[in-house]
């Protein structure tokens, strides 16, 4: 039997633990796996493109566990009342090749992206950072805000979205969680005086959310929204002034902000900084940039953490998805045996 | 909600329809998709190797549907009472990127492999073929036998396995299904006078199940067991005397019998023969060889057929695996909404 974490299961697991503590735990797994970087199979996403979107598989393995995520990207979906991005994933045992857990990953991806951003900012932002601008107040924004509060102590948020309704939604959702929230009417207003800028906009285009004159010295930029070819958020001049950190260079050069730069433009690898083998920011005046696109190892960390939480809480179902004849050579015999229990899917709670 | 076809569901779907009719239907979908060959995204498997086995993803798409199969290969599993190969797969809608159906595929893969073998033999074996040798009487063998009876009218089977118990199992399982069965004590004895030879052995090694002196003129060889690097069944001389047909040359050159030949050795593509654009066998004396490794488009056909059968019979469950907030921008809102029904997985029967 394979464990199955449904949408309701994951919501209950996160509610049960509290999102703050869940993000803390998840961040520790993300950090731990970045420190074991060389153990992982690393390949670019396996993408299937169509006129309206893309479907991708993101596999990786540390030699003990194997994971993959299925994720789509369909910008036109929102207009049809559907999610732009949906995802699910699998954790398997490398020794037997058997699946261990299937899970929804739309919610889990938002959590892991936020945890990873905060893990990066912890080693890249100026010590003592307290304030953050958030440009783009959509589906990812609450997760980012809470992760930065939990892991870095960011309490002052300056919010901007081209749609004021998105900002209203974000302020409503963060109400009562200990933030000082300021709604702004432009990106320029949002970035005034902050320590960190998070850009997390959704349009699939080469946008210019941040221009050079908006970015003062000493800032850390957490660039989340530029994550596929043809989708960037920062003006090239911002990149040229920043010390750039990435997850996996071959993927980021295709998908990240640095697709605007030459293929051999020097970038720094986040895992080396987390492991203490490379320097993060060089001084308090430097601009640091985390050019985040989301990498398979982060999904691995998320599935590994979720599996541990599911086992600890019992909040999962089980799926009968692996045929298991008594005699492995007699698969056919299953067809001639008496029918098993009708309810193939059992509630594991 | 995503449809879920469990092991019990697929067994009931096949029993309900009868395996013969299921294989007929599946073969017609396989044929149909081979005829639409140029529409498919075709990439080699995405493999993750370990010391004890391999885990692979096999994605493809025709622009309307997208499928992938997860499949492992762990030869050592049998000794531990586990399956060497387990598989599951997904059918998704390309237009929305949403998953439509998740299914077990261990049983389904055996069915699709048999259907594909028979589809190939229909256009490659000598007309009027009646008898087949089966070397290797393991988990795949019953499926192959029944597919060849249904699609080609093969009734006389000559069986050989290095383990007589496997042959006994096969004879027991085929009893009463209209075959004339002969157990043989060697490969040489099994191939005597037959029209078709099916090799479907399991060892991961370069074995020599068929040598040149065993293969007379006019035979069709259905070579199933050589399906990964370092695993072949036929002596190279057999290949050199045969007209060779393959599914997708770039994959077969790595995984099939033809890994023993030069990279530019001429091979023929099965889809062209099925579509009537290329000749199958040239004359009654020629030896034809289907060097089968299993390609993603066949899994696509199988998942498409199974989806239609599941919908027609109602024999499926449903999974709550796609988060679907009313406002797509308010994913976080799901965490603060009241808890949904506890039983996230509902029985769709």
pLDDT on residue A59: 97
Look at residues B185, B219, B229, B193 and name the one whose alpha carbon lies nearest to residue B287: B219
- Measured CA to CA, the distance from residue A248 to residue A257 in angstroms comes to 13
pLDDT on residue A288: 98
ipTM of the complex: 0.90
pLDDT on residue A203: 67
Cα–Cα distance list, A85 to A76, A107, B4, B81, B329 (Å): 10, 10, 21, 40, 11
In the numeric block, the tokens 């239907």 are attached to: B25
Clarify whether A227 is annotated catalytic.
Answer: yes
The mean predicted confidence, pLDDT, of chain A is 92
- Tell me where in chain B the CATH 3.30.1780.10 domain(s) lie: 2-107+297-336
Residues 201-240 of B with CB under 8 A from A: none
- Measured CA to CA, the distance from residue B322 to residue A110 in angstroms comes to 14
Measure CB to CB from residue B335 to each of A11, A97, A104 and give the nearest one. A11
pLDDT above 80 (res A319): yes
Residue B225 vs residue A258, higher pLDDT: A258
**Bridge partner list, B132:** B157, B196
Residues 286-325 of B with CB under 8 A from A: 317, 319-325
- Measured CA to CA, the distance from residue B120 to residue A119 in angstroms comes to 54
Measure CB to CB from residue B46 to each of A57, A81, A327 and give the nearest one. A57
Residues 68-127 of A with CB under 8 A from B: 68, 70, 72-74, 77-78, 80-84, 86, 88, 90, 92, 94-99, 102-104, 106-107, 110
pLDDT on residue A79: 87
- Tell me where in chain A the CATH 3.40.50.720 domain(s) lie: 126-293
Contact A288, A298 (CB under 8 A): no
Give B171 to chain A, closest Cα distance, Å.
12
Q: Is B344 in contact with A9 (Cβ distance < 8 A)? A: yes
Say which DSSP state A260 is in: G
Give A189 to chain B, closest Cα distance, Å.
23
pLDDT on residue A212: 87
Confidence class for position A339, pLDDT limits 50, 70, 90: low
pLDDT above 80 (res A340): no
The catalytic position among A62, A161, A195, A227 is A227
pLDDT digit string, tens, across residues A121-145: 999 999 999 999 999 999 899 999 9
Give the CA dihedral B162, B168, B171, B174, nearest 10 degrees. -110
pLDDT on residue A290: 98
Look at residues B108, B4, B98 and name the one whose alpha carbon lies nearest to residue B349: B4
Q: How many residues would you count in chain A?
A: 349
Look at residues A317, A323, A336, A318 and name the one whose alpha carbon lies nearest to residue B8: A323
Contact A191, A133 (CB under 8 A): yes
Give A80 to chain B, closest Cα distance, Å.
9
pLDDT above 50 (res A344): no
pLDDT on residue B329: 84
Give the CA dihedral B113, B114, B115, B116, nearest 10 degrees. 50
- Measured CA to CA, the distance from residue A211 to residue A194 in angstroms comes to 15
Measure CB to CB from residue B84 to each of A82, A320, A328 and give the nearest one. A328
- Which run of H or of E encompasses A181? strand A180-183
- Measured CA to CA, the distance from residue B152 to residue B127 in angstroms comes to 9
- Which run of H or of E encompasses A124? helix A106-124
Candidates A45, A46, A55: best to mutate against B (most CBs of B within 10 A) is: A55
Candidates B15, B90, B331, B333: best to mutate against A (most CBs of A within 10 A) is: B331
Look at residues B98, B44, B46, B100 and name the one whose alpha carbon lies nearest to residue B70: B46
Candidates A329, A339, A340: best to mutate against B (most CBs of B within 10 A) is: A329
Tell me which chain B residues have a C-beta less than 8 angstroms from the C-beta of A149.
Answer: none
pLDDT digit string, tens, across residues A60-104: 999 999 999 999 989 888 888 888 889 999 999 999 999 999 999
Cα–Cα distance list, B118 to A98, A322, B113 (Å): 30, 26, 9
Tell me which chain B residues have a C-beta less than 8 angstroms from the C-beta of A339.
Answer: 8, 11-12, 15
Residues 140-159 of A with CB under 8 A from B: 140-143
Q: Are strands B317-319 and B2-5 parallel, antiparallel or unpaired?
A: antiparallel
Judged by DSSP in three states, B243 sits in strand
* Lowest-confidence pick of A12-21, A231-240, B195-204: B195-204
Report residue A49 as tokens.
Answer: 């493109």
Report residue B147 as tokens.
Answer: 């597919």
pLDDT on residue A342: 43
**Bridge partner list, A232:** A206
* Assigned CATH topology for domain B2-107+297-336: ornithine cyclodeaminase, domain 1 (3.30.1780)
Direct distance between the N- and C-terminal alpha carbons of chain A, in angstroms, rounded to an integer: 14
**Bridge partner list, A210:** A234
- Measured CA to CA, the distance from residue B233 to residue B136 in angstroms comes to 11
Give B306 to chain A, closest Cα distance, Å.
15
Q: Is B88 in contact with A54 (Cβ distance < 8 A)? A: no
Structurally, at CATH architecture level, domain A126-293 sits in: 3-Layer(aba) Sandwich (3.40)
How much helix, strand and coil, in percent to the nearest 5, is found in chain B? 40, 25, 40
pLDDT digit string, tens, across residues A138-164: 989 999 999 999 999 999 999 999 999
For chain B, state the CA radius of gyration. Answer: 21
Cα–Cα distance list, B185 to B161, B167, B190 (Å): 8, 10, 8
Give B189 to chain A, closest Cα distance, Å.
23
Look at residues B97, B109, B18 and name the one whose alpha carbon lies nearest to residue B65: B97
Look at residues A276, A338, A339, A330 and name the one whose alpha carbon lies nearest to residue B161: A330
- Which run of H or of E encompasses A269? strand A268-269
Measure CB to CB from residue A339 to each of B12, B110, B339 and give the nearest one. B12
Confidence class for position A348, pLDDT limits 50, 70, 90: very low
The catalytic position among B62, B161, B227, B317 is B227
Burial A102-132 (b: 16+ CB within 10 A, else e): bbbbbbbbbbbbbbbbbbbbbbbbbeebebb
Measure CB to CB from residue B321 to each of A6, A48, A92 and give the nearest one. A6
Which residue of B lies nearest to A168 if distances are taken between CA atoms?
B330
Tell me which chain B residues have a C-beta less than 8 angstroms from the C-beta of A96.
Answer: 72, 74, 77, 80, 82
> How many Cβ atoms sit within 10 Å of the Cβ of residue A200?
27
pLDDT on residue A347: 37
Report residue A14 as tokens.
Answer: 């996160």
User: Mean pLDDT for each 10-residue chunk of chain B (349 residues)?
Assistant: 96 96 98 97 89 94 97 89 90 97 96 98 97 95 98 98 96 96 97 96 76 92 83 91 96 92 96 97 97 95 98 96 85 78 40
Q: Is A106 in contact with B320 (Cβ distance < 8 A)? A: no
**Bridge partner list, B240:** none
Give A136 to chain B, closest Cα distance, Å.
11
Q: Is B53 in contact with A97 (Cβ distance < 8 A)? A: yes
Is any Cβ of chain B less than 8 angstroms from the Cβ of A338?
A: no
Tell me which chain B residues have a C-beta less than 8 angstroms from the C-beta of A59.
Answer: 46, 48, 55, 57
- Measured CA to CA, the distance from residue A170 to residue B327 in angstroms comes to 12
pLDDT on residue A323: 86
pLDDT digit string, tens, across residues A176-218: 999 999 999 999 999 999 999 999 987 667 678 888 889 999 9
> How many Cβ atoms sit within 10 Å of the Cβ of residue B109?
25
- Measured CA to CA, the distance from residue B104 to residue B11 in angstroms comes to 10
CB within 8 Å of B192: residues ≥ 6 apart: B158
């Amino acid at each position: 039997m394979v464990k199955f974490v449904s949408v309701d299961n994951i919501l209950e697991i996160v509610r049960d633990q509290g999102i703050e503590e869940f993000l803390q735990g998840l961040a520790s797994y993300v950090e731990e796996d970045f420190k074991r970087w060389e153990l992982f199979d690393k390949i670019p996403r396996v993408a299937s493109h169509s006129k309206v979107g893309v479907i991708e598989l993101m596999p990786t393995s540390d030699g003990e566990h194997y994971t993959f995520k299925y994720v789509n990207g369909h910008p036109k979906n929102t207009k049809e009342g559907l999610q732009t991005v949906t995802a699910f994933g699998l954790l398997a045992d490398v020794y037997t090749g058997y699946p261990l857990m299937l899970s929804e990953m739309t919610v889990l991806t938002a959590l892991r992206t936020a945890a990873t951003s905060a893990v990066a900012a912890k080693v890249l932002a100026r010590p003592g950072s307290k304030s953050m601008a958030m440009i783009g107040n959509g589906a990812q924004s609450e997760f980012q805000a809470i992760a930065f509060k939990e892991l870095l102590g960011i309490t002052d948020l300056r919010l901007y979205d081209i749609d004021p309704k998105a900002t209203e939604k974000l302020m409503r959702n963060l109400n009562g969680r200990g933030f000082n929230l300021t709604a702004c009417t432009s990106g320029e207003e949002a970035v005034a005086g902050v320590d960190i800028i998070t850009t997390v906009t959704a349009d699939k285009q080469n946008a210019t959310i941040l221009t050079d004159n908006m970015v003062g010295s000493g800032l850390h930029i957490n660039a989340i929204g530029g994550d596929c070819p043809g989708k960037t958020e920062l003006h090239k001049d911002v990149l040229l002034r920043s010390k750039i950190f990435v997850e996996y260079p071959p993927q980021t050069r295709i998908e990240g902000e640095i697709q605007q730069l030459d293929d051999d433009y020097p970038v720094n690898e986040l895992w080396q900084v987390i492991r203490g083998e490379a320097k993060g920011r060089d001084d308090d005046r430097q601009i640091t940039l985390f050019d985040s696109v989301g990498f398979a190892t982060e999904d691995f960390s998320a599935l590994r953490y979720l599996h541990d939480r599911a086992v600890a809480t019992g909040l999962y179902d089980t799926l009968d998805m692996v045929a298991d004849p008594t005699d492995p050579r007699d698969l056919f015999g299953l067809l001639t045996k008496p029918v098993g229990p009708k309810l193939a899917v059992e509630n594991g709670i």
